[in-house]
Structure 1
Amino acid sequence: MHRTTHIRLMANYNQWMNNTLFTASQGLSHEQLTTNQGAFFGSILGTLNHIAVGDTIWLKRFAGHTAKHPESQVFHTLPSPSKLNQFLFNTLPELSGYRSMLDAQIIRWVEAISDGDLDETVVYANMKGVIAHKNFFALLMHFFNHQTHHRGQVSTLLSQNGVDFGDTDLVLLIPDDIEC
């Protein structure tokens, strides 16, 4: 599988899993969504907000790197979170709308990324202002892995609230490799 094919697969997996977990969360009360259950970001809503915050921060960094791709320029208009535990939205419907917009933009953006783009170095400042020079493909893998990691936490929190969200494995989206 080519690297560009893989990042497109990851973007589609990201959208599918976010839709799955947001849909599964809709039946919970605001109290269930916001009760601190001992997760790193406390609650279901806190963890879902953290994923959106992390994505927003990275997409804004990537927008400068992929400036030649018009699809990435919308990332400049996203909010600028100042903390990793910041609540961008206090209700699930508001956060869900933002999440859907982000996921659609991510899919459009990765469709424009070429294999050559993936070999480039991204220069960015972290939240403390420290400058880093990192490989773009490796950062994209971190971007998608970070989402998967925290969605795993959300799935545990949903399970603790009695919510069955179904299968979550990436393998469900990997096409069969059939030779004719």
Structure 2
Amino acid sequence: MSAQAALMRRIARNNRWSNDRLYRAVLALQPGEFSVERTGFFPSIAETLNHILAIDLYYLDALLEGGVGPAVFYDFKSFDDPAALADAQTAEDVRLMAFCDALCEEDMDRRVVTDRGEAGRFPERINDLLIHLFLHQVHHRGQVHAMLSGTSVRPPQLDEFFLDFDVPLRREEMTRLQLDDER
């Protein structure tokens, strides 16, 4: 496996880990806190997390050359139930990890088409789309993290990568999520 492909594989796993931590906090919210209006780019935790999922669906479709394109957004049904949303996000995280697991060096510079609707169709490099997708996740997870500060639940720590120092502290999570192969 190439260094770039190996890095994408590790980032996909870290993405899964971070989403799991965030959703564990969200699932502990008191009734009403998930959808109450808050300060943020999207006006609630629910809307922000639904946005993350919709964008994941869009870009993973492009990466897998599924051909759905912007119809992902027209067909997307927002989740009102945080548990159902967590399950849907987990499924996409697992699909993204599987995609990254299958990457080889030649794939990193290969171009796939992103259909931007009326703006046109744009061929993009797979590694650029993946980095874009991961940065999008980090950006909006940070917004949810800030919103959690105004709830009954303490925001989880999300600013970690798989550092050797952290492994003993995170062993249970890594085992539960089947991420032990990263160590």
TM-score scaled by structure 2? 0.79
CA distance in 2, matches of 1:144, 1:54: 11
Matched, 1:169 2:170: no
Cα distance, 1:38 vs structure 2: 2.2
Contact preservation (8 Å) 2:25, 2:156: no
Contact preservation (8 Å) 1:121, 1:134: yes
Kindly report which structure 2 residues correspond to 1:5-20, keeping only aligned pairs within 5 A, or say none: 5-20=6-21
Cα distance, 1:115 vs structure 2: 1.4
Alignment match, 2:111: 121
Query: Per-residue CA shift, 1:45-88, capped at 9, x if unaligned?
Result: 11000000000011111111xxxxxxxx7x97xx82228xx653
Cα distance, 1:9 vs structure 2: 1.3
Matched, 1:26 2:27: yes
CA distance in 2, matches of 1:80, 1:30: 29
CA distance in 2, matches of 1:30, 1:6: 39
TM-score scaled by structure 1? 0.81
CA distance in 1, matches of 2:114, 2:52: 19
Alignment match, 2:95: 105
Equivalences, count = 162
Kindly report which structure 2 residues correspond to 1:1-180, keeping only aligned pairs within 5 A, or say none: 2-64=3-65, 80-82=72-74, 87-171=77-161, 173-175=162-164
Cα distance, 1:157 vs structure 2: 0.5
Cα distance change, pair 131–145 in 1 and its aligned pair in 2 (3 A): same
Provide structure 2 residue ranges, at least 5 long, that are not aligned to the other structure: 166-183
